[in-house]
Amino acid sequence: MNISSPGSRPCKLLLASGIALAIAMMTTGAMAGEVTDARQESQIWTAYSLSPYLHANDLTVSVANGKATLAGTVEEDVSKELAREIAMGVDGITEVDNTIVIQPDYVPAQASANSTFVNTIEDASITAAIKSKLLWSKNADGMSSKVETKAGRVTLSGTVASAADRDFAGRLAANTRGVSTVNNQLEVDAKKTTGAANGKGTDKQAGTEIADSWITTKVKSTLLYSSNVSGSDIEVNTSKGIVTLRGKVGNGSEQALAIELAQNVRGVKSVQAKELTF
């Protein structure tokens, strides 16, 4: 058997090939990492651009090895927290360094070439948020509504079972982030009143008690969508349909609104808010 010595040409070639392969693997790994970072940055920024509550042109995102660094300026702490939650929700992000600055009197920069597209997305997001809140509401029984948004101006049309339902739908829309005005064209249809009344509690009658986890999620989302409630500062827990709210709000009006919004989510039997202080 002929074994080449360490200084022979075959060994040198083998060593050189091994080094080249190692370098290639390191380079490929680095490139793969850069691609992953870029993909995650794109996902986060796209989510920001689609959110009616964030102005993507005023935020920057950089990702390195699973760590996202956020920078820029927003008007309130709930927007800063939302930016963090969106980043943490992206697959592969394990840490977020949130350096976003809160400036209460901040005026967001206007988008240039993409202004029409951004406005369209914001209007669509507002419409979706209002439709969702109406769908989750106890007041949706007997309601046949249409929601349209243009430049933050919302128009509600269709029919409801009562004047109270009409007024509540209007307040729900008005308290949605990004909404400037509400044109409430909902009409009361007396024929639907009986059906709506009979429909109350159908979930329980059918043996499909709404899950506490579903209620908690919808209450949290309703508060987060609302412009006059600091949803990110309120902790929500549900047990057997009884919702408990904890945290800090700005004043008594905000506290009352948070309780009303929670109370009107389907499946909620009562709301405990002794620990929701201001």
pLDDT at 98: 94
pLDDT at 3: 42
Kindly report the average pLDDT of the chain as a whole number: 79
Q: How confident is the model at residue 12 (pLDDT cuts 50, 70, 90)?
A: low
Judged against a pLDDT cut of 90, whether residue 21 lies above it is answered with: no
Q: Do residue 20 and residue 83 come from a single domain?
A: yes
Q: Do residue 96 and residue 39 come from a single domain?
A: yes
CB half-sphere exposure, 239, CA atoms < 13 A: 3
pLDDT at 239: 93
DSSP 194-231: HHHHHHTTHHHHTT-PPPHHHHHHHHHHHHHHBTTS-G
Determine, yes or no, domain membership for 6: no
Q: Do residue 120 and residue 191 come from a single domain?
A: yes
Which range of 30-39, 73-82, 228-237, 251-260 scores highest in mean pLDDT? It is 251-260
Q: Do residue 268 and residue 222 come from a single domain?
A: yes
pLDDT digits (tens, 9 = 90+) for 143-195: 788 899 988 899 999 998 889 889 989 999 998 888 989 999 999 887 765 44
CATH number at residue 253: 3.30.1340
Amino acid at 262: A
Q: What residue numbers bound the domain in which 134 lies?
A: 115-200
pLDDT at 52: 67
For β-strands 59-64 and 67-74, DSSP reports them as: antiparallel
pLDDT at 170: 93
Among 200, 222, 249, residue at a domain's last position: 200
Among 200, 215, 234, residue at a domain's last position: 200
Determine, yes or no, domain membership for 128: yes
Among 75, 102, 129, residue at a domain's last position: 102
pLDDT digits (tens, 9 = 90+) for 208-221: 478 999 999 999 88
Q: Do residue 271 and residue 214 come from a single domain?
A: yes
pLDDT at 28: 47
Q: Do residue 210 and residue 170 come from a single domain?
A: no
Q: 29, 57 in Cβ contact below 8 A?
A: no
Q: Do residue 35 and residue 86 come from a single domain?
A: yes
Number of domains composing the chain: 3
CATH number at residue 48: 3.30.1340.30
pLDDT at 242: 94
